[in-house]
């Protein structure tokens, strides 16, 4: 799956919508509501009210609330998984590959911010959530393996525990969902550069 696909392109093509909303707009608004109230606390009635439509109109696009969640999580995870499929993540020096994965993870998070926010707030209470968490763990494991490979190459410091290094990287990237605001002067590309600078060079002045 290409990281440039829209949320409505994930898994199945968008259906022709009823007047007012298509599948993409339903998904976009639903993700915002899930993030605002929590997935479990959001009923189809709440979604319908926020969309300004009926529950039956939502069912025209999605079989149920869980399918909306599945589609949203696919979009978030698909962007992350596409990073690992890129040749730049699979060939070359480990530290270069690690830098690429970190920078691309920042870009995907920024460009798919509401969807990744939803992913990071999962509690694993449903099968859909547990499947998504398993996929997220596989991505995290691949990134951790890159940290280990860079340590083995001598390009990442070895005086810091590998698990600590990995957790700090994840923490730095994941914290972006709490404060980043799309459309401002800080573009995803600039933010990725800053994360790389701090993560790999520290904050000491050159």
Full pLDDT tens readout for the chain, 206 residues: 444 455 545 443 344 444 468 899 999 999 999 999 999 999 999 999 999 999 999 999 999 999 999 999 999 999 999 999 999 999 999 999 999 999 999 999 999 999 999 999 999 999 999 999 999 999 999 999 999 999 999 999 999 998 899 999 999 999 999 999 999 899 999 999 999 999 999 988 87
pLDDT of residue 204: 86
Calculate Rg over the CA atoms of the chain.
19
Cα distance between residue 98 and residue 84, in whole Å: 10
Q: How far is CA 168 from the centre of its chain?
A: 17
Label residue 24 exposed, middle or buried (CB < 10 Å: 0-12, 13-18, 19+): middle
Residue whose pair of structure tokens reads 């529950």 in the numeric block: 55
Which domains are assigned to the chain?
16-62 (1.10.10.60), 67-201 (1.10.357.10)
């Amino acid at each position: 799956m290409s990281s440039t696909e829209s949320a409505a392109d994930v898994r199945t093509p968008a259906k022709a919508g009823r007047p007012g909303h298509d599948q993409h707009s339903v998904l976009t608004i639903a993700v915002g509501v899930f993030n605002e109230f929590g997935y479990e606390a959001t009923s189809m009635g709440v979604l319908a009210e926020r969309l300004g439509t009926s529950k039956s109109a939502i069912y025209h696009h999605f079989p149920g609330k869980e399918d909306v969640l599945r589609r949203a999580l696919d979009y978030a995870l698909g962007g992350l998984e596409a990073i690992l499929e890129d040749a730049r993540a699979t060939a070359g020096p480990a530290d270069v590959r690690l830098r690429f994965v970190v920078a691309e993870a920042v870009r995907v998070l920024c460009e798919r911010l509401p969807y990744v926010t939803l992913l990071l707030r999962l509690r694993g209470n449903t099968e859909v959530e547990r499947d998504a968490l398993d996929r997220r763990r596989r991505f995290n494991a691949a990134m951790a393996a890159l940290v280990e490979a860079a340590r083995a190459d001598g390009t990442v410091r070895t005086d810091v525990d590998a698990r600590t290094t990995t957790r700090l990287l994840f923490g730095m990237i994941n914290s972006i969902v709490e404060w980043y605001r799309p459309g401002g002067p800080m573009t995803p590309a600039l933010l990725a550069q800053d994360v790389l600078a701090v993560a790999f060079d520290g904050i000491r002045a050159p």
